[in-house]
Structure 1
Amino acid sequence: MDAQLLAFIAVAAGMVALPGADFTVVVRNALASRGSGVATAVGVAAGLLVHTALAVAGLSAVLVTMPVLLRTVQLIGGAYVLYLGLSALYAIRRRRAGGERAQDPDEAGYRAPMSPGRSLRQGFLTNALNPKAPVLFLSLLPQFVPDGQPPLPRTVLLASVVVLLALVWFPAVALLVDRLGRWLRRPRTARAIEGGSGAALTALGLVLVGGPLLH
């Protein structure tokens, strides 16, 4: 394995593991159930597959050079992330207003799990609509294509590495959260986590919707 590929794996691993909207959504859904968390994680990896495919096809370059199109993606992605954040905050408020009580006090205060299909779709859209991804892939992948080597096979390899890392990292996060679930689902802890994730997603959505065009 060449040194450039090893360096890329290290950089890509840090990029995938960096907390953001993907991480937040996986944790939220994993707290609801293991199945929801894993399905969301697989959806995130599927979203990355879209970005890597675009990078391989060279379409990321087209997107980046068309500010109107990139801004449209940014607005749609920001609106979706904002929707997820506000939905989480509204769910907490609704449960408090309704005086919701669970039979098991250790499980009280957290929402019911979503269907695998809905969880998968939520993870996919959260990642696929991320407007930073095309810019990131366009700037990152070419740096690890050695001079004199055909760019297409190398780019396919690098893109595959990113997707495989996501398929390892995000399901692992979901399983770890589920493993700690009995403690994390306690009423106060669950409300704090969901409230924090809802606030983080809302803030990120507002930045994407109201912020300048990403470069």
Structure 2
Amino acid sequence: MDAQLVAFAGVAAGMVAMPGADFAVVVRNALASRRAGVTCAIGVAGGLLVHTALAVAGVAAVLAAVPTLFRALQIVGGGYVLYLGYRALRSAARQRPGAGAPGDSGNSGDSRDSRYSGDSRDARGEPPASVGSLRQGFLTNALNPKAPITFLSVLPQFVPAGSPAMPRTLLLASIIVALALVWFPVVALLVDRLGRWLRRPRTARAIEGVTGGALSVLGLVLLIEAALA
């Protein structure tokens, strides 16, 4: 067995499972419905696929070498995460303590209130909620400028000396994406499984406020780091 590969799988699992903006946005969408949560999780994995592809291609080295480009991407990513946080906090503030939990209409899980995913407008011919969830997951991850730098610094450490770099790096990148495709849908399904309790008015409002606060802080940190760089 390849000991380096096993070690990398452990490191990659820790990187993927570490709570952050991806985790928060998946939980928030999963509170709306199982479909929204799983779709958002797939979007996060899609963002990781972009980052790993950039790392394999070496494009991430450009971000490291050109501070202005990195800072611009950091501002865009921070702004988007901050926007998601603002929407979550606004939604929490609008929920009345005595009102029913979001989506408590007696219908199936996939027809719950879709304000978490933010794009359930198919009645007007616009993109359905699942499209909005997919986009949120993808953009939250893809606009994180630190991810390609992280992958660029970590992946080479697990390429054995003398072996071809491209096939090995592709394998390592595939492991990261595969782990994300397992972890984030599991998180979404777990949140949905606990949905009856999590969607109680006070609980849902608290979770919405906490995730909104977490996303807002993460977005502000990115923007502050960009401003101070």
Deviation at 1:62, TM superposition (A): 1.1
Say if 1:21 and 1:126, in contact at 8 Å, map to a contact too: yes
Say if 1:145 and 1:155, in contact at 8 Å, map to a contact too: yes
Is structure 2 residue 109 aligned with structure 1 residue 95? no
Task: Report the equivalent of 1:71.
Answer: 71
1:175 to 173, 189, 206: 189
- Structure 1 stretches of 4+ moved >6 Å: none
Deviation at 1:105, TM superposition (A): 9.7
- In structure 2, the gaps of 5 or more residues are 106-111, 118-128
* Number of aligned positions between the proteins: 210
1:203 to 217, 220, 226: 217
Task: Report the equivalent of 1:58.
Answer: 58
Deviation at 1:101, TM superposition (A): 2.9
Say if 1:28 and 1:194, in contact at 8 Å, map to a contact too: yes
Q: Which moved more, 1:86-95 or 1:75-84?
A: 86-95
Q: Which amino acid aligns with 2:13?
A: A
Three-state SS of the structure 2 residue aligned to 1:162 is helix
Q: Taking structure 1 as reference, are residues 45 and 106 closer, same or farther at Cα in structure 2, changes over 3 Å only? A: closer
**How high is the TM-score relative to the length of structure 2?**
0.87
Q: Which moved more, 1:129-138 or 1:86-95?
A: 86-95
Deviation at 1:204, TM superposition (A): 0.8
Is structure 2 residue 153 aligned with structure 1 residue 155? no
Q: Taking structure 1 as reference, are residues 105 and 51 closer, same or farther at Cα in structure 2, changes over 3 Å only? A: closer
Deviation at 1:134, TM superposition (A): 1.2
Say if 1:106 and 1:182, in contact at 8 Å, map to a contact too: no
Q: Taking structure 1 as reference, are residues 153 and 22 closer, same or farther at Cα in structure 2, changes over 3 Å only? A: same
**How high is the TM-score relative to the length of structure 1?**
0.92
**How far, CA to CA, are the matches of 2:35 and 2:147 in structure 1?**
26
Say if 2:75 and 2:226, in contact at 8 Å, map to a contact too: no
Is structure 2 residue 42 aligned with structure 1 residue 42? yes
Three-state SS of the structure 1 residue aligned to 2:162 is coil
